[in-house]
Amino acid sequence: MNLKEQINVNNLPAHLAIIMDGNGRWAKQKGFLRTLGHENGVKSVRTTISECAKLGIKHLTLYAFSTENWNRPKFEVEMLMKILVKSLKKELPTFTKNGIKLKAIGDLSLLPEQVQKQLAEVIDHTKDNKHMTLTLALSYGSRAELINAVKEISFKVKNNLISEADIDESVINNHLYTNDLPDVDLLVRTSGEQRISNFLLWQIAYSELYFTEVLWPDFTEEELYKALLTYQNRERRFGKTSEQIK
């Protein structure tokens, strides 16, 4: 039995999030420019989106560009933005055909105008698709997201739109970029790094974490299946005992 056949389609993560790490190291190992690593990483993005849609995963969030990534060399940032625009244009027919709805979270106002325009176009074209929601975290930082939520809630309290006593988890959830997404069930990070890197800090409170040594351009269908099988072999207790959840 191959890995895909071992997956229980009735026990998939409703929300899978991935920190796509290792493009630069992949390129360096092969003697290529870092930008070539990013271009090859797009193939893994396409493969992962396609397989998640086929398996029936409802929500997939990809960490595509962090707030800290703006500090990278200017040439690399410009190339990343060009790759993003090119990919969005190329993938729109696939999104439409497979019922994939595109969302984007982060401080999108910092993105180049051409990227914002292309992103808005694909989001608008796919807004009624219901098979799977693909969320791109772009110019995203979880701390900035939480600060923004605190400011919005504080404004509402100050102006008597809500009371301090009303503030609970649901109120905070409603003021996050991900307000219409479920909590993350499984967080995957490639390249062997074992840290969260300011990604969905609130949303991964009870996530299963999966780290793999595989660099992102080498993340194939088989690597996705391994992550899902590991998830399915774990016991998720949410603070309860094993006996309570059985």
Catalytic residue numbers, as ranges: 21, 69
Contact 184, 105 (CB under 8 A): no
Q: CA 171 to CA 43: how far, in whole Å?
A: 38
Q: CA 53 to CA 46: how far, in whole Å?
A: 11
Q: Which token pair is 229?
A: 């099988």
Sheet containing strand 132-140, edge to edge, reads 100-105, 132-140, 59-66, 15-19, 186-189, 208-211
Q: CA 48 to CA 59: how far, in whole Å?
A: 12
Q: CA 41 to CA 19: how far, in whole Å?
A: 12
Burial group, residue 71, by CB count within 10 angstroms (0-12, 13-18, 19+): exposed
Where are any strands of DSSP class E within the chain? 15-19, 59-66, 100-105, 132-140, 186-189, 208-211
Rounded to whole angstroms, what are the CA distances from 6 to 10, 39, 227? 12, 31, 12
The residues, any chain, with a CB within 8 Å of residue 105's CB and separated by 6 or more, are 61, 135, 136, 137, 138, 140, 145, 177, 178
